[in-house]
Amino acid sequence: MTPRYIITQIASGILIPILMAFLEESIVTMVPWLITMFSVVIADLAAGLWKSYKLRIPIRTSRAFRETMGKSVVYFAFVLMACFINSAANSDFNWAKWLTLFIILLEIGSMVSNFLKPQGINLSMNAFIKAILTHSALPFSCANVDELVEKEDLESIRREEMEKIKTEESWKERKSSKS
């Protein structure tokens, strides 16, 4: 046996139990937040399908699930990172809880937008942020906070949603023509 092999085995024998304890603590912290996060993402998927149905937009299940899975992967990575930070920092501040609550807030905003679009109300995230900054104690000003809720006719909202589908289809055509 070479000295390098012996050192590798000793290091592995010491580090593996420490890493396993770290991972166990992180996973125990992570599970309830992941369940909560995935529940909210599925609720957003349902709200998006409802919006498409109400606006008579063709429902593309592949697109809907692709976007949902994309969100889920990104959110999973953020919750994983937050749980690892919780375990590593060993502090009282619960990163996983606050990050998951932030994700839930984003998804609730998306669901509210999905429910209001068929009624002709289009929420603008930029205007929403401006309104929050305008009414906060921070030194920001916004001249036109009325942009927060734009009353639009259903046909213009439907056109915007159909434009997204056409853009996706043209991208698929270009991609298949290159193959």
In the predicted structure, residue 104 carries a pLDDT above the cut 60: yes
Q: 61 versus 48: which is more confidently predicted? A: 48
Domain that holds residue 128: 3-178
CB neighbours of residue 45 within 10 Å: 21
Helix axes 3-54, 61-89, angle to 10 degrees: 140
| Model pLDDT, residue 13 | 85
Length of the chain, please? Answer: 179
Name the DSSP class of 139: S
Total tally of structural domains belonging to the chain: 1
State residue 122 phi and psi, 5-degree precision.
-110, 115
Q: Model confidence over 115-153: pLDDT tens digits?
A: 888 887 777 666 666 666 666 665 544 444 444 445 556
Q: Model confidence over 62-102: pLDDT tens digits?
A: 888 888 899 889 988 888 888 888 877 877 888 888 888 88
In the predicted structure, residue 2 carries a pLDDT above the cut 80: yes
| Model pLDDT, residue 144 | 46
pTM of the model: 0.65
Alpha-carbon distance 77 to 80, whole Å?
Answer: 5
Question: Using alpha carbons only, what angle is made at residue 141 by residues 140 and 142, rounded to the nearest 5 degrees?
Answer: 130
- Rg of the chain over Cα atoms, rounded to whole angstroms, equals 23
Whether residue 82 contacts residue 95, with contact meaning beta carbons closer than 8 Å, is answered with yes
Confidence of residue 42 (pLDDT cuts 50, 70, 90): very high
Q: Which two tokens stand for residue 167?
A: 């853009």
CB neighbours of residue 114 within 10 Å: 21
Helix axes 3-54, 95-116, angle to 10 degrees: 20
